Amino acid sequence: MYTRKNDMEQDVERAAVRFVCDLFERNRRLSEGPVIDQVDEEVLREVEAMGIPAEGRPLEDVVLDMEHDVIGYGYNCDHARFMGMVPGPTSAVSWLGDMIASGYNRHAGGVANYPAGCRAEQVLLRWLCNQAGFPQTATGVFTSGGSMANMTASIAARDARLPQDRWGDGVAYISEQTHSSAAKGLHMIGVPDARIRKIPVDEGMRMRVDELERAITADEQAGLRPFLVIATAGTTNTGAVDPLREIAGICDAHDLWMHVDGAFGASVLLTRYRDMLDGIELADSLTWDAHKWLFQTYSCGMVLVRDAHDLLRSFATHPEYLKDLEESAAEDALINPWELSPELTRPARGIKLWFTLQVMGSEGMARSIEHGFDLARWAEDELRRTPGAEVVTPAQMAMCTFRFCPDGLDAAALDELNQRVSQRMLASGYAGIFTTEIGGKKVLRICAIHPRTSEGEMREVVRRLAALADEEAAVMRGVQVGTSR
């Protein structure tokens, strides 16, 4: 029987078709425009004034408000010259996969709700576990991102290594360069700051294994229970990789859980540079974000574990109202995702990645990731030719950090100068480059993972940054001279 569309359905359909076409075109041409769509106060006031109406408004009007007022402003992270943040550019294919998945709106907490989709996610997770070199017992689950993946792994680690009556003695080890989400996740599961050790790093920004071993031994001697080391494969600041094999050896010797935060860097496993991650296969768990270097729309993170039981131990629940779902999963020989993570209701997050890999193939994906290595090298090369530019950490993965150090400015002024260079570049709309701090100094950081950024653009970004630094230096020297008079 054919059911006629009602007026609302017709409106939604018309708006959806127009909106999708417009949006596709907007995304396709994004890199021709500025890296930031600045919002002005008037727009913010308009959004405020819209409030929440008692009676609905015409759909077309609200769609236009969404496009022009609500969603249309901000950093264009998908832009080819936006190099400011790790969660980076999205492929149009992922965007389409995401729309299909959200359009079907499967409740992806249980196998029965989306049996074939769940199978596709499992095939994908198994393939990713294989890339990591994990054994056949391994599994994983999609999370909203790296932060939740790190927290999920910390819970699994605690439950695997600490009896409940010793949770209060558990000690975890991270490095000075570990992403803040690791300590945040530990905090969320009740590990206080006083039992999170920040291990110093070496000159390459890697966790120092001698310091790690010393700290663990000291804690053991103090009667505490070291239970977890969080190593990083691709740090947020510099792209450094901790000495994974050596850390695994220490974890093994002291019976600690080894988690690797590969939110950014695990994608290197798919490339010809995979040897950089030697030792990752020894980890108990691994964070891997597809919304970073696998070009997926947010939110698409993963936690992989070398043994499925380590997630089941922490997260499997069997309430009476889910028994029907449990039985159908058992028939399918698949594990319900809700038994592997803190979430019950969840979107089918993995489907867009599965869809993307079906379209691109693993080789296409590898080529796209490898381009990031080239971009960082071109940036470093251009910086080394630029007078007054100092490469602080060389190209590692898709990262390079640097600062401009013109003569005649003191340390505080140099920090200020580099900050201003970042702000002015952003305001110019040409590129998005942010600052971070290394060794107490403000530095600029390029994280260049866009597959369509060209060598010419990368070099031009550096040249424009250098020109801005020259201009700012001239202004600041004037100010410094003025103040000292």
Ligand X SMILES: Cc1ncc(COP(=O)(O)O)c(C=O)c1O
Binding site for ligand X (CB under 6 A): 86-87, 145-147, 179, 181, 232, 236, 261, 263-264, 289, 301
- Cβ proximity to ligand X: between 157 and 162 the closer is 157
**What's the min distance (Å) between Cβ of 145 and ligand X?**
3
**What's the min distance (Å) between Cβ of 307 and ligand X?**
23
Q: Which residue stretches of 68-171 are H helix?
A: 92-104, 115-132, 146-161
- Cβ proximity to ligand X: between 117 and 301 the closer is 301
Identify the helix (H) or strand (E) that includes residue 374.
helix 350-384
Instruction: DSSP letter for 334, please.
Output: -
Residue with the two structure tokens 């630029």: 386
Q: Taken in order 230, 231, 234, 235, is the CA torsion positive or negative?
A: positive
- Residue 251: phi, psi to the nearest 5? -60, -40
CB 173 within 8 A of CB 212: yes
- Residue 8: phi, psi to the nearest 5? -60, -45
- Cβ proximity to ligand X: between 205 and 329 the closer is 205
**What's the min distance (Å) between Cβ of 81 and ligand X?**
19
Round to whole Å and give the CA distance between 32 and 438: 33
- Residue 312: phi, psi to the nearest 5? -60, -40
**What's the min distance (Å) between Cβ of 275 and ligand X?**
20
Instruction: DSSP letter for 225, please.
Output: E
Cα angle, residue 425 at apex, residues 391 and 298 outer, rounded to 5°? 90
Instruction: DSSP letter for 296, please.
Output: P
**What's the min distance (Å) between Cβ of 83 and ligand X?**
13
Round to whole Å and give the CA distance between 20 and 113: 27
**What's the min distance (Å) between Cβ of 357 and ligand X?**
19
CB 213 within 8 A of CB 250: yes
- Cβ proximity to ligand X: between 34 and 350 the closer is 350
- Cβ proximity to ligand X: between 392 and 466 the closer is 392
Identify the helix (H) or strand (E) that includes residue 388.
none
* Number of Cβ atoms within 10 Å of the Cβ of 44: 12
- Cβ proximity to ligand X: between 197 and 349 the closer is 349
CB 141 within 8 A of CB 341: yes
Round to whole Å and give the CA distance between 382 and 246: 35
- Cβ proximity to ligand X: between 147 and 175 the closer is 147
Identify the helix (H) or strand (E) that includes residue 252.
helix 244-254
- Cβ proximity to ligand X: between 78 and 289 the closer is 289
**What's the min distance (Å) between Cβ of 5 and ligand X?**
39
Q: In terms of residues, how long is the chain? A: 485
**What's the min distance (Å) between Cβ of 146 and ligand X?**
3
**What's the min distance (Å) between Cβ of 362 and ligand X?**
22
- Cβ proximity to ligand X: between 142 and 354 the closer is 142
